[in-house]
Structure 1
Amino acid sequence: MTTTDRYAVFGHPISHSKSPRIHGLFAEQTRQPIHYTAQDVTAEAFQAAADAFFANGGKGLNCTVPLKELAWQYAGRLSERARKSKAVNTLARQTDGGILGDNTDGIGLVNDLTLNHNITLPNSRILILGAGGATRGILGPLLEHRPACIAIANRTLDKAETIVAEFADPDLSCSDYAGLASRQFDLIINATSASLSGELPPLPGDLLAENGCCYDLAYGNRPTAFVQWGLARQARQSLDGLGMLVEQAAEAFALWRGIRPDTAPVIDLLNRERKALNLSG
């Protein structure tokens, strides 16, 4: 008899999560016997909930807002990319019972940008808005592609300065939003959650270079405020993070199951579903 292995995503709030749907599609495609659920877990309850999940036979967890830093602390072992980012979105129980922490966000973003949307990263000028855990998670994989520069802009400069000091890359710099005046970038990535509530940082109108692209790590059934900002400035592409969500999930699935699913049909299906939802609404 085939054993069905248990996986879950923890977060707060979590009801909007597409992760159970995505991993269900991956399991169907690869014929892997898994059961994946979403559980609303607050930061205060995380330690006990994770302990209970693994004690009861759970094989792996995804962790989203506000738990990624706590998951980094929870893991007994860390991948190199998790160690550098100080944030974990994937926990995997090892054969000896230990818990490995990994961060698949950065590779998920890079794969969506380069493979799905043909956006060039080498020698490009990149701006990241925000200096939280999301920025930490994507920075390493972006730097590996050797852009001309990456700038981090944040309301409070000291948070951005801390990240720049930790990554210590000569092509990495930071500023507050006022410091962006007269600068232009080929790719602007919104790593804040503000655009989901219709808010944006104070950005200069000419910040996006000609033929530049915008990318919001957040996603929704309708264009986020930042996606709309990019469209209003004639971005070549202005994208949300649905593709990144699927790509990072595929990396987690491969870590857990040893097989990487094909992401293209899943992304296509989810995009068609939300298009149909918007048309019906």
Structure 2
Amino acid sequence: MNVLATTHRYGVIGNPIAQSRSPFIHREFARQTGIELEYEAILAPLEGFTATVEDFFRAGGKGLNVTVPFKEQACALASGHLSQRASVAGAANTLWMHEGELHACNTDGVGLLSDLERLGYSLQGRRVLLVGAGGAARGVMQPLLLAGCAALRIANRNPARAGQLHDVVSRAMPELAARVQAGGLEDAGQNWDVVINATSSSLANTAPDLPEGLYAQDALAYDMVYSPEPTAFMQQARQQGAGRAVDGIGMLVGQAAASFAIWHGVAPDIEPVLHKLRDALLYT
């Protein structure tokens, strides 16, 4: 294969992958910044992630986004060159080559924070409830704490998993461990300023089994899942008293923008791409 022909080749890798909006987003970023690139969706066999990644970079590929179910494998594959965010999360969504070595970062938390900022929500001094303890939650823990939240509680259907994530963060960030608590959904507490759904429940059109009283006055409910219509979690949140409920489409574009900046050294404008993507979801 002609390596020169693939110098500007990028992609997103996952299984399944046909639903990914990353090609649309990155092509819009490229058009906006005047950067020529190819960006494709790559379906990797469930047992063939490593080989697919190696083939991609061997053929001259420059960068990969990684989605489910491969983020933890991506972290392990680039274990010698992890950003702090990827190391704490134990998962990576952005891969690239530098001087012949594979590097990895996790931009999910950055994407979440950029969207919260866009929505006008500073986490400084806020009380945050994070629902879920899987890969999505792991990816945003460190950025949430570094953003200055006064308290962060991990609530999960399985309290033991929440405790495990608490332990991971406590070891990685001992100076901030006092701000973190963990437990089950039934004892999630009350009067949270921001409640973030990091579970995949809305993909099945269901909501986590959350108790009443979670939301402080004017609280924000944020679902990492995105949808043309209000998700099940968003509907539940409004019924339980959240002041505002939003989905994760802005996080999706924000994490893509952070990956784009790592690869190209240019920070694209999120807003026009976000609006185009929202329109595309509404009319498809």
Give TM-score, length-normalised by structure 1: 0.93
Listed one character per residue, the Cα deviations across residues 152-200 of structure 1 (whole Å, up to 9, x for unaligned) are: 01111221111111211110000111212x5221110000111111122
Match of 2:75 among 72, 75, 95: 72
Match of 2:38 in 1: 35
Match of 1:203 among 185, 198, 210: 210
In structure 2, how many angstroms separate the alpha carbons of the residues matched to 1:4 and 1:67?
24
Aligned residue runs from structure 1 range 38-187, under 5 A: 38-75=41-78, 76-94=80-98, 96-114=99-117, 116-168=118-170, 169-180=177-188, 183-187=190-194
Q: CA deviation at 1:221?
A: 2.5
Aligned residues: 274
Listed one character per residue, the Cα deviations across residues 50-92 of structure 1 (whole Å, up to 9, x for unaligned) are: 1111111111100011111000001141011111111100001
Q: CA deviation at 1:234?
A: 4.3
In structure 1, how many angstroms separate the alpha carbons of the residues matched to 2:19 and 2:235?
21
Match of 1:255 among 240, 256, 262: 262
AA at the equivalent of 1:31:
G
Would you say the 8 A contact 1:26–1:261 is kept in 2?
yes
In structure 1, how many angstroms separate the alpha carbons of the residues matched to 2:29 and 2:104?
21
Q: Structure 2: any 5+ residue segments left out of the alignment?
A: 171-176
Change in 2 beyond 3 A, CA 1:15/1:221? farther
Secondary structure of 2:212's match?
A: coil
Give TM-score, length-normalised by structure 2: 0.92
Change in 2 beyond 3 A, CA 1:125/1:198? same
Q: CA deviation at 1:253?
A: 0.5
Listed one character per residue, the Cα deviations across residues 195-249 of structure 1 (whole Å, up to 9, x for unaligned) are: 1111222111221112101111111232221122223334222111110011110
Secondary structure of 2:178's match?
A: coil
Would you say the 8 A contact 2:6–2:61 is kept in 1?
no
In structure 2, how many angstroms separate the alpha carbons of the residues matched to 1:242 and 1:42?
27
In structure 2, how many angstroms separate the alpha carbons of the residues matched to 1:143 and 1:176?
20
In structure 1, how many angstroms separate the alpha carbons of the residues matched to 2:11 and 2:218?
40
Q: Structure 1: any 5+ residue segments left out of the alignment?
A: none
AA at the equivalent of 2:245:
S
Compute the RMSD of aligned alpha carbons.
1.6
Would you say the 8 A contact 2:15–2:44 is kept in 1?
yes
In structure 2, how many angstroms separate the alpha carbons of the residues matched to 1:206 and 1:160?
20
Instruction: Confirm whether residue 272 of structure 1 aligns to residue 279 of structure 2.
Output: yes
Match of 1:222 in 2: 229
Q: Which stretch of structure 1 is more off in the superposition, 33-42 or 13-22?
A: 33-42
Secondary structure of 2:27's match?
A: helix
Secondary structure of 2:86's match?
A: helix
In structure 2, how many angstroms separate the alpha carbons of the residues matched to 1:144 and 1:225?
29
**Structure 1 vs Structure 2: percent identity of aligned residues?**
42
In structure 1, how many angstroms separate the alpha carbons of the residues matched to 2:230 and 2:45?
27
Change in 2 beyond 3 A, CA 1:54/1:171? same
Q: CA deviation at 1:262?
A: 0.7
